[in-house]
Structure 1
Amino acid sequence: MTAPIHDFAVIGAGMAGASIAAELGRHARVIVLEAEETPGYHATGRSAAFWEECYGGPGVVPLTLASGGYLAEHGFLERRGALYIGRAEDRAAMDRFVETFAGTGVGIERLGKAGLHARLPHLREEWCDAIWEPACADIDVAGLHQHYLAIARKAGVAIRCRARVTGLSRDKGSWSITTACGDTIRAAAIVNAAGAWADAIAAMAGAEPVGITPLRRTVAQLRVAPAAPADLPLVLDISGRFYFKPDNGRLWLSPHDEVPSEPCDAAPEEYDVALAIDRFESVTDWQIEGVERRWAGLRSFAPDRLPVYGPDPRTEGFHWFAGQGGFGIQTAPAAARVAAQAILGLGRDALTEGIDTSIYAPSRLAGAKAAATG
Structure 2
Amino acid sequence: MSSEVDTLIVGAGFAGLATAWQLSRLEPSERILILEREKRLGGQSSGNNAGMLRQAVADRAIARLAREGRRLFNSLKGPRWRGLRLAPSGSLLLASNGCKEWREIEAAAGAERVDLRILDRDQAACLVPVLQTSVFRRALFCPGDASLDIRGFLKGLTRELRSRGILIHLGISPQGIFKTKRGFLVLAGRGVFRARRIVNTAGAWAGGIARMAGAARIPFRAYRRHLYTSGAFKGAGPSWPFVWDLEKKFYFRPSGSGCSLILSPCDKEFFDIKRRRFGLDNRTDPRLRRVVRKKMERFSPAFRGLKLTAEQAGLRTMAPDGRFVIGEDPRLEGFYWVAGLGGHGVTTSLSAGRMAARLILGKKTDPFLERAFSPRRFHAA
Q: TM-score, normalised by structure 2?
A: 0.88
Structure-2 separation of matches of 1:240 and 1:194: 31
Q: Is the 8 A contact 1:310 1:362 kept in 2?
A: yes
Q: Is the 8 A contact 2:70 2:145 kept in 1?
A: no
Question: Counterpart of 1:372?
Answer: none
Whether 1:296 aligns to 2:305 is: no
Structure 1 range deviating more: 34-43 or 359-368: 359-368
Structure-1 separation of matches of 2:233 and 2:154: 34
The 3 A distance-change label for structure 1 pair 90 and 228 is farther
1:321 to 335, 338, 347: 338
Structure-1 separation of matches of 2:75 and 2:264: 29
1:207 to 210, 215, 231: 215
Question: Counterpart of 1:191?
Answer: 199
Structure-2 separation of matches of 1:35 and 1:96: 37
The 3 A distance-change label for structure 1 pair 112 and 56 is closer
Whether 1:238 aligns to 2:251 is: no
1:283 Cα deviation (Å)? Answer: 1.3
1:237 Cα deviation (Å)? Answer: 0.8
1:173 Cα deviation (Å)? Answer: 3.0
1:280 to 296, 306, 312: 296
1:95 Cα deviation (Å)? Answer: 4.5
1:98 Cα deviation (Å)? Answer: 2.5
1:342 to 355, 359, 364: 359
1:223 Cα deviation (Å)? Answer: 2.0
Structure-2 separation of matches of 1:84 and 1:121: 15
- Listed one character per residue, the Cα deviations across residues 293-319 of structure 1 (whole Å, up to 9, x for unaligned) are 010000111111111111101112211
Sequence identity of aligned pairs in percent? Answer: 27
1:241 Cα deviation (Å)? Answer: 0.9
Structure-2 separation of matches of 1:84 and 1:104: 18
1:268 to 270, 284, 294: 284
Whether 1:169 aligns to 2:168 is: no
Structure-2 separation of matches of 1:209 and 1:91: 35
Question: Counterpart of 1:157?
Answer: 166
Structure-2 separation of matches of 1:100 and 1:172: 44
Whether 1:83 aligns to 2:92 is: yes
Q: Is the 8 A contact 1:56 1:327 kept in 2?
A: no
Structure-2 separation of matches of 1:56 and 1:90: 15
2:263 to 241, 253, 258: 253
1:100 Cα deviation (Å)? Answer: 4.4
**Structure 2 alignment gaps of length 5 or more:** 78-83
Question: Counterpart of 1:122?
Answer: 130
Q: Is the 8 A contact 2:57 2:105 kept in 1?
A: no
Structure-1 separation of matches of 2:117 and 2:44: 35
1:93 Cα deviation (Å)? Answer: 5.6
Q: Output aligned runs, 1:7-86, within 5 Å.
A: 7-25=6-24, 26-55=28-57, 57-74=59-76, 77-86=86-95
2:329 to 305, 312, 322: 312
Structure-2 separation of matches of 1:93 and 1:206: 37
Structure 1 range deviating more: 293-302 or 234-243: 234-243
Structure-2 separation of matches of 1:141 and 1:93: 27
Q: TM-score, normalised by structure 1?
A: 0.89
Q: Secondary structure at the match of 1:59?
A: helix
Whether 1:113 aligns to 2:118 is: no
Instruction: Supply the AA of the counterpart residue of 1:266.
Output: N
Q: Secondary structure at the match of 2:37?
A: coil
Question: Counterpart of 2:81?
Answer: none
Instruction: Supply the AA of the counterpart residue of 1:196.
Output: A
Whether 1:365 aligns to 2:361 is: no
Instruction: Supply the AA of the counterpart residue of 1:83.
Output: L
Structure-2 separation of matches of 1:84 and 1:242: 10
1:20 Cα deviation (Å)? Answer: 1.1
Q: Secondary structure at the match of 2:168?
A: strand
Q: Secondary structure at the match of 1:17?
A: helix
Q: Secondary structure at the match of 1:253?
A: strand
Q: CA RMSD in A?
A: 2.1
Q: Secondary structure at the match of 1:122?
A: helix
- Listed one character per residue, the Cα deviations across residues 74-104 of structure 1 (whole Å, up to 9, x for unaligned) are 25532112111123x4566644543443222
Structure 1 range deviating more: 202-211 or 267-276: 267-276
Whether 1:134 aligns to 2:143 is: yes
Structure-2 separation of matches of 1:140 and 1:223: 18
Whether 1:6 aligns to 2:5 is: yes
1:126 Cα deviation (Å)? Answer: 3.2
Q: Is the 8 A contact 1:112 1:130 kept in 2?
A: yes
Structure 1 range deviating more: 359-368 or 310-319: 359-368
Q: Is the 8 A contact 1:54 1:61 kept in 2?
A: yes
Q: Is the 8 A contact 1:19 1:149 kept in 2?
A: no
1:356 to 341, 366, 369: 369
1:109 Cα deviation (Å)? Answer: 1.2
Whether 1:178 aligns to 2:187 is: yes
Instruction: Supply the AA of the counterpart residue of 1:296.
Output: A
Question: Counterpart of 1:331?
Answer: 348
1:276 Cα deviation (Å)? Answer: 1.6
Structure 1 range deviating more: 4-13 or 226-235: 226-235
Q: Is the 8 A contact 2:9 2:198 kept in 1?
A: yes
Q: Is the 8 A contact 2:225 2:315 kept in 1?
A: yes
Structure-1 separation of matches of 2:210 and 2:101: 38
1:224 Cα deviation (Å)? Answer: 5.1
The 3 A distance-change label for structure 1 pair 262 and 56 is farther
